[in-house]
Amino acid sequence: MIRKKRPGQVSHDRWLVSYADFITLLFAFFVVLFATGQSDKQKKVELAASIQSAFNQMGIFEPHLGLPRSSQLIGGGGSAAPSIVSLRLAPTVESIVVVRQHIEETARADIGRGVIAIHQSANGLVISLQEAGFFETGAADVRPSALPVLYRIADILPESSLRVEGHTDNIPIHNQQFASNWELSSSRASSIARLLLLHSNVHPEKMSVAGYAEFHPAASNATLEGRARNRRVDLVLLLGPDGTH
């Protein structure tokens, strides 16, 4: 005989349905908050770069003051890779401050050894690649040992106008490959330019190559140290997208 359910019996588990819906909505709410927070932190990096660049032009901050690392603003630490996206989208004065910081970080060891130097000029940011670290004496082929740091620098360069300049000291050269310092400086600049086109975001129509021989020295040719500084290839990151200020 089937026992009939008593009319007065009520289920007390219906609250579980409402509770499950509430937990689902709460989870979705926190996911949206987390995603929004990560986007805002990336904007902080771009905002910091723009503010410091503007203050540098007004003379309020010293130009050498660095920006906070991207990993510090985003909440990470240690060896977090810097974000290059904003640099590629802003080939202007704002990006040069950030480009310089990233290059100083990624090439710190080579800068310490004196084979890479960075300074600001009237034309823009100048990255000097010294012969001692990148070329054999009297040769235009880039040393294989210098390729990793060159590729790291190339990856940081924004999509702005870039001039690659070859320079030598005032000691004449005449061998089977180069008749003068004009040919040597031009060939070295061309070797660097070809590698940058393969490993950077610089478009060919925005890159120029020049050989200045010994006629644009960075130091006096009267000393060994001065001549060593003059044997270089300069990457000149021009301030404007078309090489204008």
| Domain locations along the chain | 18-83, 91-238
| pLDDT tens-digit readout, 70-127 | 434 334 444 333 444 344 443 455 667 888 899 999 999 999 999 999 998 888 899 9
pLDDT at res. 22: 80
Length of the chain (residues): 245
CA nearest 230: which of 242, 243, 219?
A: 219
pLDDT more than 90, % of the chain = 47
pLDDT of the residue at 71? 39
Contacts with 98 (C-beta within 8 Å, 6 or more apart), sequence order: 49, 67, 86, 87
In this prediction, residue 3 carries a pLDDT of 58
3-state helix, strand and coil shares in percent for the chain, rounded to the nearest 5: 50, 15, 40
pLDDT category at 134 given cuts 50, 70, 90 is very high
pTM: 0.62
Phi, then psi, of 163 in degrees rounded to 5: -115, 125
User: 207-211 and 232-238: which strand pairing?
Assistant: unpaired
Residue 80 confidence (pLDDT): 39
Q: Mean pLDDT throughout 7-23?
A: 69
Fold assignment, 91-238: 60s Ribosomal Protein L30; Chain: A; (3.30.1330)
Which residues, 6+ apart, have CB-to-CB distance to 132 below 8 Å? 114, 115, 228, 231
- Residue 127: name the closest of 159, 160, 145, 150 by CA: 150
| Mean pLDDT value of segment 226-232 | 96
Under DSSP, is residue 119 helix (H, G, I), strand (E, B) or coil?
strand
- Are the beta carbons of 95 and 78 closer than 8 angstroms? no
pLDDT of residue 236: 94
Q: Does residue 151 carry a pLDDT above 80?
A: yes
The CA distances from residue 189 to 116, 139, 163, 164, 231, in Å, are 15, 12, 9, 6, 11
State the pLDDT at residue 40.
Answer: 54
Do 224 and 117 contact (CB within 8 A), yes or no?
A: no
| Per-residue model confidence as pLDDT tens digits over 175-209 | 889 999 999 999 999 999 999 999 988 889 999 99
Distance, in Å, from the CA atom of 160 to the CA atom of 177, rounded to the nearest integer, reads 33
> Taking 60 as the threshold, does the pLDDT of residue 61 lie above it?
no
Confidence check: pLDDT of 46 > 80: no
pLDDT computed for residue 32 by the predictor: 73
The whole-number average pLDDT for the span 39-66 is 50
pLDDT value of position 171: 96
Rounded CA separation 96/226 (Å): 28
